[in-house]
Amino acid sequence: MKLIQGLTITLLMCSVLICTPVVKASTVTEALDLIALLRSQTEDANFTGVNAEQDRAFLLRKIDAAKIAVDQARFCKAVKDLQDFNAHVDKLDREQQVLEGPHGVTVHDMHDTFSLATDIINKLIEQSGVTCKP
């Protein structure tokens, strides 16, 4: 079931990315779709090590916090939560604690989705005229 859900989300995102012109204004829906894809990838990733499930839980909490922040139009917080997610994935990758998942999910896939999501959220920040504090 998760495989079908993951494939459906992936196909949806591919169609959105292919059909969406580069100059089109970013939408909250696009950001939420990418966050959902990132969550699915994280659920399907193969984490190793003694704290594998704690690492996955931490990453999922960061993704969920980013989703809530986007829902509430708190885009700066969403970017911060996603950056925390990405930093932890980078740490796990350096420690070789993320292997290709059973459904082919890789660190590269998660990084690509993270980048797309943060790009869209940063465009939403720009469109709203908000300045994020460092």
Beta strands in the chain (DSSP E): 46-47, 98-99
pLDDT confidence tier of residue 45, bands split at 50, 70 and 90? very high
pLDDT confidence tier of residue 81, bands split at 50, 70 and 90? very high
Global pTM value: 0.79
Q: In 3-state terms, what secondary structure has residue 25? A: coil
Q: Reply yes or no on domain 2-128 having CATH 1.20.1440.
A: yes
- What residues contact residue 96 under an 8 Å CB cut-off, 6+ apart? 48
Is 37 in contact with 10 (CB distance < 8 Å)?
yes
Percent of the chain predicted with pLDDT > 90: 69
Whether the pLDDT of residue 94 is over 80: the answer is yes
Q: In whole angstroms, what is the distance from residue 38 CA to residue 29 CA?
A: 14
Mean of pLDDT values over 108-128: 95
